[in-house]
Structure 1
Amino acid sequence: MLALNLFPLLLTVLLLGLLISTFRILREYERGVIFLLGRFYRVKGPGLIIVVPFIQQMVRVDLRIVTMDVPSQDVISRDNVTIKVNAVVYFRVVDPQKAIINVEHYLEATSQLAQTTLRSVLGQHELDALLAEREALNAHLQKILDQGTDNWGIKVANVEIKHVDLDDSMIRAIARQAEAERVRRAKVIHALGEVEASQKLVEAAATLAGQPQAIQLRYLQTLTEISGDNSKIIVFPLPLDLMKTLMSAGNKDAG
């Protein structure tokens, strides 16, 4: 008799539980992938949605951007230098249906693809390119990952290489290379300066050769500049052309 009295109460509680489980609330950044008897039905959300118990099942999908840290990968560059490289990948789900149906655990799949792509792409470049062309490499990695995850309903927004770790011997070798490069540039700049100076001297000599009086004026100006020197002895060379000019002028005065 007691069992008969409790049956309506248990039935009421069961129906109330089923009614409550029918209603689901999805946040603005969430979507629900609905399966009807195991087959894809539709994508619902956000807000209040209805999921029929036992007949329909729902899988929540987060549409926010995911920041995924790619662990350090051992990479052998094109010039046979072993380095450790890690990166960060920014991506989000744009098609919840593909993200649930086409791939199992899309987060893990994206992580593994990012690690493999990082090793294969960076291994095709030399060390100098890895250190100097970060932006181009980031764009290349982003393009490859975006194409690889397109069938999974995932959009890779950005890829950033964070660190390129070298061993101490390679750091010292790079420092010596940079020092040698600076010495080379200094020598080249000095040589270019000598070339420009010689060109200007040739131009000045050609100008002075056209006017012999200009040479005399130049020598007189030089004598004026060194006359203020405190030295008791001044050695000043005189060109033969100037001596001939002075001698010819003296002969004319004597005649």
Structure 2
Amino acid sequence: MIEITGALCLIVLGYIIGSIRIVEQGDQAIVQRLGQYKRILNPGLNFVIPLLDTVLVETIREQLLDIEPQRAFTKDNVPIEVDAIVSWQILDLRKAYYAVEDLEESLKQIVISTLRNEVGQLTLEESFSSASKINQALLRQLDKSTANWGVKVIRVEVQEFMISQALRDSLEKERAARSEKQAELTRTEGTVKSIQQLSAALEGQNADVLRYLVAKDYVDANRELGKSENSKIVFLDPRALNEAVTDLMGHTGVIDARNRGNIDGDIDT
């Protein structure tokens, strides 16, 4: 009799111990009885039916989903790689467990798809300056897509836009070419201003001197331009150069007339 009583006590003690489930703070648990959803266990001491109940513990803390660099194409068809970090949290464990097959993987695929779509609506230059806009668009889309999943996307942060080294070198060359072109335009503007000043200073003198100075500056400028890797060979008709100089001088005709008058006066004398 004592042996039977002891055995029963051990069975009861084992049953009690087996029925105890302690859920830690920050977690929740789903109880399934014979494969069917039964209830949610909150943090603390809980009791279940051994052998019949299955307990599935999940965190309800905020979680981070790190999206590895993804290849995307901008509106101007430039390939770039972009990565992001998504912060999310389970609000309804029952929905999160039963509404979607693989919650984290599904969330990841939506982020990647939305990220590529948003980048595709922007040019390369806009992409680098629109990270905040992309973050907001991702957050809106994820909230909409995960509304029935029992989760909340808290924030989305696009970390970095990356382009290939070949494209980076090409952009650097293009930027250098633009800088050089701007410098050439600045020099040209300086030349025009100098011509106007010389025209005023040489009024009443031989205009051939001015033409010589302009032609010399033209030749020097073309020699410098020819040294550039981005230069192109351009041939200019000397007569067109002469006409351009005449237009810039403005008063060349007047100067020539005065010079001819002075020469005639010397001959008469």
Interval of TM-score (by shorter of Structure 1 and Structure 2): 0.5 to 0.7
Conservation of the 8 A alpha-carbon contact between 2:25 and 2:43: yes
Could you tell me which amino acid in structure 1 is paired with residue 46 of structure 2?
I
Gaps of 5+ in 2: 190-269
Partner of 1:79: 76
TM-aligned CA distance change 1:119 to 1:19, over 3 Å:
same
What percentage of residue pairs aligned between the two structures are identical? 27
Asked if the contact 2:115/2:134 (under 8 Å) is kept, the reply is no
The C-alpha deviation readout for 1:25-84, integer Å capped at 9, x for no partner, is 112211122234433232221111111123332221201111111111111111111111
AA partner of residue 134 (structure 2)? L
* Corresponding position of 2:94: 97
CA 1:24–1:79: 2 relative to 1, 3 Å: same
Shift of 1:142: 1.4
Q: What is the aligned partner in structure 1 of residue 47 from structure 2?
A: 50
122, 132, 136: which one aligns with 2:119: 122
| Alpha-carbon distance between aligned partners in 1 of 2:182 and 2:145, rounded to the nearest angstrom | 44
Contact 1:71 1:115 in 2 (8 A): no
Q: Could you say if the C-alpha distance between residues 10 and 135 of structure 1 is closer, same or farther in structure 2, counting changes exceeding 3 Å?
A: same
Question: CA RMSD, aligned part only?
Answer: 2.8
* Alignment partner, residue 164 of structure 1: 161
What SS class does the counterpart of residue 151 from structure 1 fall into?
A: coil
Cα distance in structure 1, aligned partners of 2:10 and 2:110? 48
CA shift digits 1:143-175 (9 cap, x unpaired): 111211221111111111112111123223333
Tell me the alpha carbon deviations over residues 121-145 of structure 1, each in whole angstroms, 9 at most, x when there is no partner.
Answer: 3223221121011101111111111
Find out whether 1:33 has 2:30 as its counterpart.
Answer: yes
Matched position secondary structure for 2:82 = strand
Q: Deviations over 1:183-202 (max 9, x none)?
A: 788979xx9xxxxxxxxxxx
Match of 2:144 in 1: 147
In the alignment, is the contact (CA less than 8 A) between 1:75 and 1:119 conserved in 2?
A: yes
1:133 and 2:150 correspond: no
- Determine the structure 2 residue equivalent to 1:227: none
1:1-255 matches, cutoff 5 A: 12-179=9-176
> Aligned partner of 1:63: which letter?
I
Counterpart of 1:83 in structure 2: which amino acid?
I
The answer to whether the 8 A contact 1:35-1:41 is kept is: yes
The structure-2 alpha-carbon separation of the partners of 1:111 and 1:6, relative to structure 1 and needing over 3 Å to count, comes to farther
8 Å CA contact 2:22, 2:46 repeated in 1: yes
> Residue 12 of structure 2 aligns to a residue in which SS?
helix
The Cα of 1:9 is off from its aligned counterpart by 5.4
Q: Please identify, of 40-49 and 86-95, the stretch whose mean Cα deviation from structure 2 is larger.
A: 40-49
The corresponding residue for 1:195 is none
Q: How many residues align?
A: 188
Structure 1 residues without counterparts, runs of 5 or longer: 192-255
